[in-house]
Chains A and B, each alone.
Chain A
């Protein structure tokens, strides 16, 4: 059994609201699956279905080949999770919150709590009440609760929330290590493609409840649009000439000509030569690659999104 997390036409409606519509996801062992979508796209609802917190209106969810059910306690033994914002018992200290997690997870070793605090760099806040933690340390506590029992499956909803850039990098490395060296299957959601793309092995894009695209991280690069930006003294005439020569062009908000397509990039030297010959010498020529955020917005935009 290689598929660790699988949803089959998983659908969830809340009355007239179609929160998630026929989502098919498949996550293999040791993969880091980045689940991307805008706020309200259906990420958390999908995660709650995977964790048995809500029942799909139709369709099924499987973990390690077993149909997910709220009573499947043996599945939850091997699963760690963080859903939405991390909340903890505010009157209890960091240690006490983790001690509760340790006991409820049935962990015999009393050192588990000390070990996970050290791993998440929150040992110094051991005796601080959860209500007095910063947002970032609250997030670390939430991740610590998810990891305390060394789960085989890790489901994290927006794990980077509230963390500073160093914290984000630290958690990223931690998750990479878990997946690569310990074979942990990680499913994490985010609304920031740029961050997820740095370490996810596969990415799914969800928008308005529907899974629009699933792509391996290696393929992502080939899907990004590339273009050549050109600025001349006579923009209109230059654009007209370029189109005569067979290039697809557009004008961006800076008044620069955008020549789309891989061919334009590979022939940039020839384009410059042609423009000079035509008496339209460029004052700037720059190859540009679409960034991941733009790609994400383009994907959801082309599927009826607001972007």
Chain B
């Protein structure tokens, strides 16, 4: 093996930095899943009857489903009875302010670098932090309320804005949509809710931070974002988890609704614990994300940087219903060591003159397997629909894999669909060239990989882009050839 190859492999072998466990007392229910557990979750959250019924219906449907086997990933069978479906930091009473949040939890978020405190107003990010299953604190709520923006935990939304929740919950991802979405619908414990009223442009980035702390816990959060006519919001999502030997399940659902002329930008930096070098432990990230461009000229953009998780199964999609609506998907997915990622998007063109753009950058290193899976569907009525897809794969080393599964279904002859794909390997020549200019192998690999991901990174909000670049560097310590 050449020096360059070895160096890149060393680089990819750096350790997960977010693997600490926070010592907080938590309240969990016993492992296992049945209707009583769902009733218990619902009762703990003091939910209205209709929501309990909705959950139960989802659960009953889920029992008729089988876990999808079509993704290009392999893992041991999940025992759904061996998971804790609800875990919350124990707290004595309803929190009135951030000062009442368990200081241990605040310290955890500080370690993670999340600006949870209001004094960090200047950072311009409003954060809803979800610790295990429960939303711990939402910052800047008052500021946002003045504009009529609702940004709160999902549980709070159920209590405070039941009419909105009832109207939109399941309207984009129905409870029976797929195996993991049905599971989530049955047992979701919290998440974030965001509502931007007509004509309002949200003045700051809204952000949710997810962290799985407790052992053997599944995290099933649900995010619902509604942008009314002419509204705009940029939403960020970040996630980490402690390092544990066992696999933990994360099955989230995100729904976005954009009305006429509304725009929603949703950015994710996913850094769940990926497992160790040999593939022990790590998060199973089975997520359903979908946006609905319900109104004319509406626009939904997904940008994701997926560096964590042992297994990623995720296809942020857009239903382009409104005429002239636009869907975008920008993705960087990294699979290092034994990580497996099967990710992509679905762009469903229904309205006239709808447009979609897909830019996917897959990076495989170590023994990682990275698959792009995407569907572009042009329905009969989608006159003049346009799609452009670009899927690039970068291989670091010779033991990893990159796969592309593009599906294209076109039922309207006036539409135009373009697909470009490429696979390249970080060349030893490139690394040597950088080194000859004085750069270390580490800097060289980071630079080459970041260059490869540039088109996606520039879609991220500034601070997130910097974070994503750093994260990629850390996640890659050790893998080219």
A and B: partners?
no
